[in-house]
Amino acid sequence: MSGTDWPLWEVFVRSRRGLSHTHAGSLHAPDAEMALRNARDLYTRRSEGVSVWVVPSSEITASSPDEKDPFFGPAGDKPYRHPTFYEVPEGVRNL
């Protein structure tokens, strides 16, 4: 298997404890162990992270921006999901 045939991996890095992992980028690697090592070297070389996740790109399922209206549209007819639907009782400072 040559370098151009290696699968694509998505890299997620957590910069500090208590924070969420965020997408840092992508890389090609022959297996998960090599993807993890390469991600560490590429995305955390200045000690930017405390944790790294690598996920095969082929395993990620995502919605398309082109499908925004049909995919997210059904929530528009549910006004109870918006805080404007509720009246805040008098005297309540924080919800």
Could you report the per-residue pLDDT of 41-93, keeping only the tens digit for each?
999 988 778 899 999 999 999 888 887 777 766 666 676 666 666 677 888 87
The reply to whether 40 falls in a domain is: yes
Query: Residue 95: which of 76, 79, 84, 77 has the closest Cα?
Result: 84
Q: Cα–Cα distance between 21 and 95 in angstroms, integer?
A: 28
Ramachandran category for residue 94: left, alpha or beta (phi over 0 → left; psi -120 to 50 → alpha): beta
The reply to whether 92 falls in a domain is: no
The reply to whether 18 falls in a domain is: yes
Q: Count the domains in the chain.
A: 1
Kindly tell me if the per-residue pLDDT of 4 is higher than 70. no
- Name which residue leads in pLDDT, 72 or 2: 72
The reply to whether 35 falls in a domain is: yes
C-alpha pair distances (Å), 76 with each of 32, 55, 71, 88: 40, 32, 11, 22
- Give the per-residue pLDDT at 11: 96
**pTM of the complete model:** 0.67
**How confident is residue 26, by pLDDT bands cut at 50, 70 and 90?**
very high
